[in-house]
Structure 1
Amino acid sequence: MCAAGRRWGRRQRALLCAVLLAAWQAAWGQLRYSVPEEMPKGSFVGDVAKDLGLHLPEIRDRSVRIVTEGRTQYFTLNGKRGHLVTAARIDREQLCESVQQCVLRCELIVEGEMKFYEIEVEITDINDNAPSFKETELEQRMSETSPVGSRFPLAEAQDPDSGRNSLQGYELSGDKHFSLAVQAGPGGDQRPELVLAKALDREEAAFHELVLRASDGGDPARTGTARIRVTVLDANDNAPVFSQAEYTVRVPEDVPVGSVLVTVTATDNDEGVFGNVKYFFKKVNEKASNTFHLNTLTGAITLLRSLDFEEGDTYEMEVQAQDDGGLSDTAEVTITVTDINDNVPVISVRSALGEISEDAPSGTVVALLHVNDLDSGANGEVRCSLDEGVPFRL
């Protein structure tokens, strides 16, 4: 119980005698729904009134609303029917890149009763993307003395869909001199390789035209293609070799734009044009390609735009070193972004009473607060407190 001074007014005493509590007892339950991505605005998600045992007159008469974390409100409440519906078209690939299970969370607040209910909505994938190659016209250079069975890495297709709707396999057509092999990467990804099935003769054919097709597992399946032009060159005895197979670097998120983060190096024992080495990104997603630049001649990777740990903490790329004879080597590059304390805690009032009776009992909930800090680790840990001498507690 709290005792107010006699000189304080009735309203002041009523407000100060309230106790600010973390409303753990107010969370009466949790709902979980599932809805396909790309549904039109206003599409049905779930009957929250029925599932929570709320009567429609109660929803209409009391202040009931949906609160979503983040800037975009993806769901809203249809007060007439008590249904949770979409407030915007939801693109799963945009929201949950590289995440197998895409879940959005929101809360239903019943202000009149100081209650809230947690709601989770899983966004399921539809086959709305076809596999695609970053470049649809590819050039592969190889020596006429390349032995049968030689393998040459090919560009991989990308498909942002998940599960069976994502990339499932490759096919090659166009020339009897070549076949296709697909290797499994460390993460289960498929890596196509061009295999020399028949000896080359530059005098017989200086060029070979091939078509590489990538397919997903949707019904019907969607495909993407890339044309490969193989140029047959004179002998090249040595391939470039990277100084290390993996390059790993850690950088703080406030590293200046234009900084050289890491330099990859490959050497080629050949002389002349066959010893000239150039560097290319062999495998890189769109986000990383917009963030980093690879110098073709030096192998230096520089920063194109400011990093944000909260936006992405790890970037993985595959770099290819290729000589003028078409031989190549690859290396993995991992850039890890470390967090700095660049975000302040944000306090939001989810619900609060405008006034309270002077005879309200101790323990009455007067407000629901939410505190969030976007930083990670110790930088994101938040401790809350009230000024001393006030009759409230958290």
Structure 2
Amino acid sequence: RWGRRQRALLWAVLLAAWEAAWGQLRYSVPEEMPKGSFVGDVAKDLGLQLPALSDRGVRVVSEGRTQYFALHGKTGHLVTAERIDREQLCESVQQCVLRCELVVEGEMKFYGIEVELMDINDNAPSFREAEIELRMSETTAPGTRFPLARAHDADLGRNSLQSYELSGDEHFSLAVQAGPGGDQRPELVLAKALDREEAAFHELVLRASDGGDPARTGTARIRVTVLDANDNAPVFSQAEYTVRVPEDVPVGSVLVTVTATDADEGLYGDMKYSYETVSVKASKIFHLDAETGAITLMRNLDFEESNSYELEVQVRDSGDLSDIAKVVITVTDVNDNVPEISVRSALSEISEDAPSGTVVALLHVQDRDSGANGEVRCSLDGELPFQLEKSFEDYYRVVTAKELDREQVSEYNVTVRAADGGSPALQSSAVLALRVLDVNDNAPVFAEERYSARLAENNAAGALVLTVRATDADWGQNARVRYRLSEGRVRGAPLSSYVSVQAETGALYALRSFDYEQVRELALWVRAEDGGAPALSSNVSVRLLIVDENDNAPQVLYPPAAVAAASAAWRAGGWSGVELAPRSSEPGALVLTRWLVLAVAAVSCLFVAFLLLLLALRLRRWRREQLLAAESGALRGVPVSHFVGIDGVRAFLQSYSHEVSLTADSRKSQLRFSAASCCDTLPARPAPDEPAPLLGDE
């Protein structure tokens, strides 16, 4: 059967294992240790490998503004970051525990660490006043007790104040009474009657010692002045004064007034108030008026710093008789502290394909107020794809609520807001800047569904045909678009021998001079491919139409050479027929035919206008000749052949007759000219011996 020691050891091992499993470590270290002193082997206790400490971003975070501990990167030891004074941090607290967290940023984990500061005997007992003045009447009866000022020792346990000693005079002895809290209260006891005539003053030494090894001591000199008789001591109206004040009470306010009465009159009835026992901190916060007993606030109160103060007030008359009363000042909490948000670990970049639930940041939220004023609620501002999850006690995690899309939002400013339960509520916020990293999830998209262009034949080699353009919604290398032609063949030759595309700009160039009579249209595909891995691509169709130009002379298709003789004979009969056709009878040739028809029509109109003008001139001349003949008869000898009549006009028209025969097919269009149309319709100039015709005087 196991003994008690074995069972206690087993419970201790189980407790340590339970705390380690739940991420809690506890160490103890004496106070006043130099900077860098060993506290505990964190790496060993948590099972962390030393080489991975720096890679995982392991660091120690302490509550408050002062960092008392640090992690040694090479050994994994928790060490002190500075000299720690227990009495400064934990005044009047039996167990002084400092808490910190070990944050592993690479794994988004944290471990709680508690370090208990062990007291050492670094403070000697001390009295508030090195010299104590006492006044006693010579009629004071032996055995009368006079409370003395107590010594103060900031240490605890055996290192605190343990005993008092009195030396110097046989008239006095020392008695030590136990207070309500177990503290020692020294009292000066009159052991022998005083005689002012024998000795007006008595010099004593009060020594206070602690229990340290070696022990520390503090002394105070007591000077007793022997006075005439004073048989009534002052008495407080109540033994204990209790007051509750809010922490936001204004400076200068009177918190409480203690009052005492003395039955004596005259000089022995005058009383003075003073502190009997008060801590150094309380003496700087509360002022006691020696005349009125009013306690006034000299500095702002802070509930989070201290919520209660105990004072001992003494009233003393001129005969050096006194009384003591206790004053308890309780500070009530006011919602005067905003919640504090500490970012323990946070990401600055996240991939857009990160799965839902990815941890973005680890936050610690606390409010120094108490009760409802210290209850904190956290939330995220705006409709963002993130959510808060409570991790452990005051820790929260910011995680993704759904998949991200960088093409819609490339950066997020996540505002975490913390509000307490006060009325009105106080709140604070922290902003997490998060950049979304691109993933190649978008293929290039062309600006048009299909492209087409027209290119005149006989173009110069290297001529720009058109430019295709595609855009990619991704970013960086994933958005870099390159173009290339899809493989194909034209008239048995590779497509790449006809056209090429510039990989960076998408410009399509003709590599050779096109001939409409050989290639009239090119249909090809252009592929746009991004720079991702793997790459994404898309295709677009391009149609290139070759435009015909008049680059071929007409050829005589009919009559052939075999029938040339017959054609000549036929021309002798009065008409000749020639069929003209260009090498191409396509739309280009039809356009040429239309222009020829318009030219012939224009010449015909001009010809008709010329005939009408000539006819008008002939008629005008003929009329003038008739008028001259009627008046003078001078024209009777003129030959008739010198005048042009209706028959002459008909002959003129016949001399310029032609026939146009046009069809839709330019190969079958014919233009026939009369063979016997070369005679001059105007009369020949008369011979020199012939008389000139009379045209009249003009």
1-structure distance, mates of 2:83, 2:318? 48
Q: Which residue of 2 aligns with 1:81?
A: 75
Asked if 1:165 is matched to 2:159, the reply is yes
Matching residue within 346, 363, 369 for 1:352: 346
Greater helix fraction, Structure 1 or Structure 2? 2
In structure 2, runs of 5+ residues without a counterpart are 1-19, 390-698
Asked if 1:243 is matched to 2:237, the reply is yes
Written as runs of structure 1 = structure 2, the 5 A alignment for 1:13-162 is 28-162=22-156
Q: Which residue of 1 aligns with 2:210?
A: 216
Pair 1:27–1:109, CA change in 2 (3 A): farther
Q: Match for 1:94: what amino acid?
A: Q
Shift of 1:99: 0.5
2-structure distance, mates of 1:348, 1:66? 13
**What is the RMSD of the two structures over their aligned residues, measured on CA atoms?**
1.5
Q: Match for 2:324: what amino acid?
A: T
Q: Which residue of 2 aligns with 1:321?
A: 315
2-structure distance, mates of 1:181, 1:120? 42
2-structure distance, mates of 1:307, 1:393? 35
Pair 1:222–1:108, CA change in 2 (3 A): same
Q: Per-residue displacement from partner, 1:304-353 (whole Å, max 9, x unpaired)?
A: 11222222211110000100001001100111111211111121211123
Pair 1:224–1:318, CA change in 2 (3 A): same
Q: Which residue of 2 aligns with 1:310?
A: 304
1-structure distance, mates of 2:26, 2:157? 21
1-structure distance, mates of 2:354, 2:298? 59
Written as runs of structure 1 = structure 2, the 5 A alignment for 1:151-230 is 151-230=145-224
Q: Match for 2:78: what amino acid?
A: L
Q: Per-residue displacement from partner, 1:129-166 (whole Å, max 9, x unpaired)?
A: 10000111111111111111110000000000111001
Q: Match for 1:246: what amino acid?
A: E
Q: Which residue of 2 aligns with 1:9?
A: none
SS in 1 for 2:222: strand
Q: Match for 2:194: what amino acid?
A: L
1-structure distance, mates of 2:97, 2:209? 27
SS in 1 for 2:359: coil
Shift of 1:385: 2.6
Q: Which residue of 2 aligns with 1:4?
A: none
Q: Match for 1:233: what amino acid?
A: L
Q: Which residue of 2 aligns with 1:271?
A: 265
Pair 1:355–1:28, CA change in 2 (3 A): farther
1-structure distance, mates of 2:121, 2:371? 37
Contact 1:28 1:115 in 2 (8 A): no
Shift of 1:358: 4.8
2-structure distance, mates of 1:351, 1:28? 20
2-structure distance, mates of 1:329, 1:28? 55
How many residues align? The count is 369
Matching residue within 229, 251, 261 for 2:255: 261
1-structure distance, mates of 2:81, 2:383? 44
Q: Which residue of 2 aligns with 1:7?
A: none
Matching residue within 232, 237, 245 for 2:226: 232
Q: Which residue of 2 aligns with 1:13?
A: none
SS in 1 for 2:23: strand
Contact 1:178 1:198 in 2 (8 A): yes
Contact 1:282 1:320 in 2 (8 A): yes
SS in 1 for 2:54: helix
SS in 2 for 1:164: helix
Matching residue within 364, 367, 381 for 1:370: 364
2-structure distance, mates of 1:80, 1:60? 9
Q: Match for 2:222: what amino acid?
A: I
Contact 1:27 1:116 in 2 (8 A): no
Q: Per-residue displacement from partner, 1:5-31 (whole Å, max 9, x unpaired)?
A: xxxxxxxxxxxxxxxxxxxxx985211
Q: Which residue of 2 aligns with 1:386?
A: 380
1-structure distance, mates of 2:22, 2:368? 27
Q: Match for 1:288: what amino acid?
A: A
Shift of 1:193: 0.3
2-structure distance, mates of 1:174, 1:387? 75
Q: Which residue of 2 aligns with 1:283?
A: 277
Q: Match for 1:91: what amino acid?
A: D
SS in 2 for 1:290: helix
Q: Match for 2:244: what amino acid?
A: R
TM-score (norm 1): 0.91
Q: Which residue of 2 aligns with 1:292?
A: 286
Q: Which has the higher contact order (CA 8 A, sep 6+)?
A: 1
2-structure distance, mates of 1:32, 1:315? 31
Q: Which residue of 2 aligns with 1:6?
A: none
Contact 1:27 1:118 in 2 (8 A): no
Q: Which residue of 1 aligns with 2:466?
A: none
Q: Match for 1:57: what amino acid?
A: P
Which moved further from structure 2: 239-248 or 361-370?
361-370
The alignment-based identity, stated in percent, is 81
Q: Which residue of 2 aligns with 1:19?
A: none
Shift of 1:213: 0.3
Contact 1:178 1:195 in 2 (8 A): yes
2-structure distance, mates of 1:341, 1:368? 26
SS in 2 for 1:93: helix
1-structure distance, mates of 2:55, 2:128? 55
TM-score (norm 2): 0.52
SS in 2 for 1:384: strand
